[in-house]
Structure 1
Amino acid sequence: MGTFLNPKADNDSDNQFLKICKNRVNGLFVDKTDFINETLDRFEMDNNLIAFTKPRRFGKTVTAQMLACYYSKGADCKAVFSGLKVAGYAGVKQINGQEKAITYEEYLNRRDVIYWDMNTINDDFKSYMSDKSLHVDYVDDIVDYLQYVTLLEIRQNREFEEKISKAPLIGRKSLKKALVATKTKFVLIMDEWDLIYREYRDNETLQKKFIDMLTGLFKATDGLNCFSLAYLTGILPIKKYNSESALNNFKEYNMLMPGKFAPYFGFTDEEVTELSRQTGCRISKELLKEWYEGYKIRLYDKDAGTSRDIDVYNPNSVISAISEGRCQSYWSNTSSNAEAIRLINMNYDGIKDDIISLISGGRILFDFESFNNDMTSIENKDQVFSLLVCLGYLGCYEEGDFLRSAYVPNREIRSALSSIVRKQPWYNAMPVIRRSEMLFQAIRSLDAAKTAEIIGDIHNSPYVSVIGYNKEEALVFCLISGLMWCAESSYDSFRELPAGKGFADLVFVPKSRPALPIMIIEFKRDYTAEDALNQIKEQDYAARYRKDGDEREVLLVGLNYSSETKEHHCLIEKM
């Protein structure tokens, strides 16, 4: 029992799931153990091969280690799972030819588990390659090394070693033959299964060798019979060859096609609501939603024949924000950002303009059917958007079988993408950037006519139509998207801000620079700009900024859209 075979799970082990369980005492715990129920329903069934892929920082490793804690003979976790959702499991299984009612205890810490953390294996392989004294004949690459170290540990089990030693032609890398020789059914859990396609992206020979190894384990009958359950997790769906999945007997769930597992791709709205109510949480549910929600994943109810969209939050960011007591971007993985930069700068079909439109609040249709689920065979904009969805930089709405509409899901991702775009040499030359600067300057100079004209241009841009220009919400969208590139780094923006005797539609408050004006904006549809401006004054929205000797400049902006004339009108006053 050790690293690869039957990993232990105790206070001394480096198990993220156990560490999170300890947070139950302070409320920072979301019970996702009912995911184990889904694997129990598939255990030793025809659908017992699962590939579950989602972006970095979305809990992939926690889920993998949770499954290891549950199944591994090397763990003693009854006390951990008692009282959690999995403890309520009740099912029926065919065992020794007879139907048997089972509880979650049926397989709890009773299975032989092979656990592969590919990040750790990759680090160990690099150390192995750098120290010639460790070298073993014919173990020359990470695929050889993976099989070698796993087989080495399996042979440390006396019972397995006796069976393996009697089998012919089992060498240092004959992992499948060794598993077959044990005559044991294993649970295999593989975290970051796609590492070789990401870290060794240009080594097609190694990639083929890796997928051939997995194919031998999971498609050949003798290999497949060695497993009661196999669970792969990573960022990328299983690699396609000639438009077919290399392991098409795995049931795949990913950000493009989540299937029934939508609630397990992150924290749900209900779960974040409960976290926000915990003692010590100093952040409102609304702010957590603005920053970290927005991944809308469609959940199908096969029995009822219905579907609904699940609002999913980035779990790592929610916990980090509550722990730190502030919402900010925790999306700072440099390797992930480097990949996004590479994809954007490919500029397929004008993707730079599309990314800026997406950051500004738009949506763009794409088709992911041709996506090969890797980072190298990118040939068009559809494949770029498909990869950005898998990486978590974009969300997507389901529009058809393979058709999706891409969008930027939340403020955290918008901040990360904005930061990336601002650092590119082409940034200042983009028309949308220039338009944002012009809008900001028009408001500051009290040029109401120019402000209305630019907002009209934004209204007529292709991506605004997706929200329906039939209510004040569309005006708010135009202003926010128009000012974003000038105001994002310098201002905090507030929707429906309590002020004076009511709620101001939109307020921009400088973060630190006193020379920048506060902007209070009221929107009307089919009234007048005068009505909008008068409401700011009558409701005294600026009252909160006249307290304590605050001498900052305040601009009052009234904006109206006429559905009859299709024109915008604006009035601006300085206090």
Structure 2
Amino acid sequence: MGSYLNPGGGMFKACLRSKIYVDKSGLIAKTNEVLGTEQRFVCVSRPRRFGKSMAANMLAAYYGRGEDSAELFSALRIHTDKSFREHLNQYDVIRINMQEFLSAAPDMDEMLKLLQKRILRELKMQYPDYIDSDYLVFAMQDVFAYTRHPFVILIDEWDCIFREFKQNMEAQKKYLDFLRVWLKDQEYVALAYMTGILPVKKYGSHSALNMFTEYSMINPREMAEFFGFTEEEVKELCSRYKRNFQEAQAWYDGYELVAIEEGRKKTYSMYSPKSVVDAMLSGIFDNYWNQTETYEALKIYIRMNYDGLKDAVIRMLAGDKVQINTGTFSNDMTTFQGKDDVLTLLVHLGYLSYHWPDKTVAIPNKEVSQEYDISN
């Protein structure tokens, strides 16, 4: 096992050993459905502290060929799914966190060189007889040609470039071009699963990674129940820890996610996982979010009353909903055509909840409302 190639189940074991673990293994059944199909490219975007890395660790433990991980899943829901044994430990997994490489390199060119170097090093150690190229794509093509074991590629924090290199369009384009060449139309990809806060970046009217199916806070589709803690899960935790459910609801509920399942609309009332866990363990209902540089930057637009944005926020703080058009958002931190684009970004960041039936946004709960400071 390596750090990136078949990293094993160590990180997922830590999740299972935690004082509170909520079983989200049903996600595996969803990804099993798209393995090796045209829908094998999955991008899941949701706010910080909503369990994105935990999901990636679970998928790495399940799919990776480095070890037998059946015991880790023996008490989880996925264990009874008909696809469980078929795909368990059958793939070479590459698991990376883009933030790690971004933090270690001075620019995009060096970051991409470092990423390829580190992955290639482990591929060559595992398959020394099959690789004679220092180009990652060719190396993976060669490994697959000889082994016929396809890859599951898990990319966490895929969008960190767009949050840290907000104005550097050249760096963003190089990054997206790399991902497209590495992943698109490659037979060796059984599944590409990316997580981040932002959906896939658009260029003009087209997406540079248009092969991905996106699951976001605006359109979670059939992944909705895995985006956070459901109401039933929070009720069970409140019962176990003897906490007041109504307080938990007021502090952390409010994310309304709508999915179409088996032809029927189903609405999930979604809670912020990290905040619920902290409240259950401490017994104190409080604000467990910390304001970030991302939101500090957005305050500039709010205070300028950009296209009436501050007025909209004031209305929502008073309990109103605001109509929104999400269609013009470019999935970045800088390209705003009007207040609707800023409000859409706030949905992806978790500062607003999107109500699909009437296309409105609102401040979801007490915790998030305390994050807003609209003073001049």
- Mapped to 2, the partners of 1:176 and 1:37 lie a distance apart of 28
Deviations 1:450-470 (A, max 9, x none): xxxxxxxxxxxxxxxxxxxxx
Q: Tell me which residue corresponds to 1:19.
A: 14
| 3-state secondary structure, aligned to 2:4 | coil
C-alpha distance after superposition, 1:203-239 (max 9, x if no partner)? 11111111111111232x3xx2111111011000000
CA contact (8 A) 2:104 2:111 kept: no
1:232 aligned counterpart, secondary structure: strand
Alignment match, 1:48: 40
2: distance between equivalents of 1:289 and 1:121? 38
* Cα distance in structure 1, aligned partners of 2:207 and 2:64: 29
CA contact (8 A) 1:53 1:237 kept: yes
Aligned to 2:368: 413
2:260 maps to what in 1?
300
The residue aligned with 2:189 is 227
Equivalent position to 2:218, from 237, 248, 256: 256
What is aligned with 2:167?
Answer: 202
With 54-63 and 373-382 compared, the bigger mean Cα shift is at 373-382
1:51 match: secondary structure: strand
> Aligned partners of 1:177, 1:3: CA distance in 2, in Å?
21
Q: CA deviation at 1:104?
A: 1.0
Aligned partners of 1:243 and 1:370 also within 8 Å:
no
Question: Which entry has the higher C-alpha Rg, 1 or 2?
Answer: 1
Indicate the larger mover: 108-117 or 341-350.
341-350
Shift of 1:347: 2.4
Q: Map 1:5-154 onto structure 2 (within 5 A).
A: 5-10=5-10, 15=11, 17-23=12-18, 28-90=20-82, 103-125=83-105, 140-154=109-123
Output the CA distance in 2 between the equivalents of 1:399 and 1:83. Answer: 37
- Tell me if structure 2 keeps the 8 A contact 1:218–1:247: no
Letter in 2 for 1:67: L
In structure 2, which of residues 231, 243, 249 is the aligned counterpart of residue 269 of structure 1?
A: 231
Partners of 1:144 and 1:345 lie apart in 2 by 41
CA distance 1:6–1:346, shift in 2 (3 Å) = farther
Question: CA separation of 1:355/1:189 partners in 2, compared to 1, >3 Å: closer, same or farther?
Answer: same
Mapping for residues 384-399 of structure 1, pairs under 5 Å: 384-399=342-357
Q: Deviations over 1:307-358 (max 9, x none)?
A: 1321000011000111111010011143243233234235221211211111
Question: Gaps (5+ residues) in structure 1?
Answer: 91-102, 130-138, 426-575
What is the identity, as a one-letter code, of the residue corresponding to 1:416? E
Measured in 2, the distance between the counterparts of 1:140 and 1:42 equals 32
Q: Could you list the per-position Cα deviations for residues 124-180 of structure 1 after superposition, in whole angstroms to 9, with x for gaps in the alignment?
A: 336xx8xxxxxxxxx9421222222212221121x2x32212xxxx33xx2112111
Q: Out of 281, 284, 289, which is 2:244 matched to? A: 284
The equivalent residue for 1:543 is: none
Greater relative contact order: 1 or 2 (C-alpha under 8 angstroms, separation 6 or more)? 2
In 2, the alpha carbon distance for the partners of 1:194 and 1:203 equals 13
Question: Which runs of structure 1 show a deviation greater than 4 angstroms over 4 or more consecutive aligned residues?
Answer: none
For residues 333 and 65 of structure 1, do their structure 2 counterparts lie closer, same or farther at Cα, with a shift above 3 Å needed?
Answer: farther
Q: What is the distance in 2 between the residues matched to 1:213 and 1:226?
A: 16
Structure 2 residue runs of 5 or longer lacking an equivalent are none
Q: Residue 389 of structure 1: SS of its match in structure 2?
A: helix
Q: Does the aligned pair in 1 maintain the 2:328–2:337 contact within 8 Å?
A: no
Cα separation, 1, equivalents of 2:336 and 2:100: 28
Which moved further from structure 2: 139-148 or 190-199? 139-148
> Percent identity of the aligned residues?
35
Instruction: Give yes or no for contact 1:4–1:114 (8 Å, CA) kept in 2.
Output: yes
Provide the rounded CA distance (Å) in 1 between the counterparts of 2:153 and 2:65: 13
CA deviations over 1:414-443 (Å, ceiling 9, x no partner):
1111xx22xx32xxxxxxxxxxxxxxxxxx
Partner deviation per Cα, 1:367-386 (whole Å, 9 max, x = no partner) = 01110101111221010011
Which secondary structure state, in structure 2, belongs to the residue aligned with residue 307 of structure 1? strand
Q: Secondary structure at the match of 2:336?
A: coil
Range with bigger deviation, 325-334 or 341-350: 341-350
**C-alpha root-mean-square deviation of aligned residues, in Å?**
1.7
Q: How many residues are paired up?
A: 372
Cross-structure match for 1:525: none
Provide the rounded CA distance (Å) in 1 between the counterparts of 2:58 and 2:114.
26
- 1:298 match: secondary structure: strand
1:342 & 1:179 partners in 2: Cα distance? Answer: 45
Taking structure 2 as the reference length, the TM-score comes to 0.94
Q: Say which of 189, 193, 201 aligns to 2:158.
A: 193
Aligned to 2:2: 2
SS at match of 2:131: helix
Which residue of the other structure, out of 324, 328, 331, is the alignment partner of 1:370? Answer: 328
Q: Find the aligned partners of 1:276 and 1:207 in 2 and give their Cα distance.
A: 44
Distance 2:301 2:233 in 1: 33
Measured after TM superposition, the shift of residue 202 of structure 1 is 1.6
2:287 aligned residue (311, 329, 337): 329
